[in-house]
Amino acid sequence: MMKIARFVFNAFQENTYVLYDKNKVAVIVDPGCYDRYEEEMLFKFIKQNELKVAGIMNTHAHIDHVLGVHEVMKMYQCPFLLHKDDVEGLKRVQEYSKVYGFSGYKPAYEPTELLEDGDVLTFGDMRFEVIHAPGHSPGHVVFYNRKEKVLVNGDVLFKGSFGRTDLPGGDMDVLKNTIKNKLFHLPSDTLVLCGHGADTTIGEEKKTNYILQF
């Protein structure tokens, strides 16, 4: 069974996930660790659990989700995976980092692999289907572990809410289509790991999420 560890990092209270299997193969999703304290928290967990970091998977490239990419890649020399349509967004992070109070931002390295809708990623015993899920950002993706019924969903769907669309590349109509025609077609008991806030399930959001009112 895949194990899940969640860390809440930076001023945006972003959720960074470490997913790992019984053989201690791990993948880090959306490393948002910014200062040294947060970096050490993540690195200490990995060391104490004797995990072997096999890669970084990013759902998208907004600043709060990429603050730690530089240091994580430097520490583990691992691949960095991002959808091709968010590469330009990643490059722009340095331009606006100071505006958001992150003057110490270290620019992320270039992605080593560009993701496409339908890709399948395997790390040890963990298998993730890549689903292009735009609306919050052009290249936003979600990672679906069908066997475990776990969706690593970034900032598309939140418990009782959904990702903002007022940032560059955001589009409310596109986001609604993503949620209703992609995410809501997954099994109702799918666990949804969100980029901010608490976990939820597809079934719960199909019943109560107010995006259904639009």
pLDDT means per 10 residues, the chain with 214 residues, are 97 98 98 98 98 98 98 98 98 96 96 98 98 98 98 98 95 97 98 98 96 78
Question: What does the domain layout of the chain look like in residue ranges?
Answer: 3-213
Instruction: Report pLDDT for 24.
Output: 98
Instruction: Report pLDDT for 119.
Output: 98
Strands, E assignment, 42-199: 52-57, 80-83, 113-115, 120-123, 126-132, 141-145, 150-154, 157-158, 161-162, 191-194
Q: Look up the pTM and report it.
A: 0.97
Instruction: Report pLDDT for 94.
Output: 95
Instruction: Report pLDDT for 127.
Output: 98
Instruction: Report pLDDT for 211.
Output: 86
- Strands 150-154, 141-145: pairing is antiparallel
Q: What is the mean pLDDT of the chain?
A: 97
Instruction: Report pLDDT for 73.
Output: 98
Instruction: Report pLDDT for 212.
Output: 78
CATH code for residues 3-213: 3.60.15.10
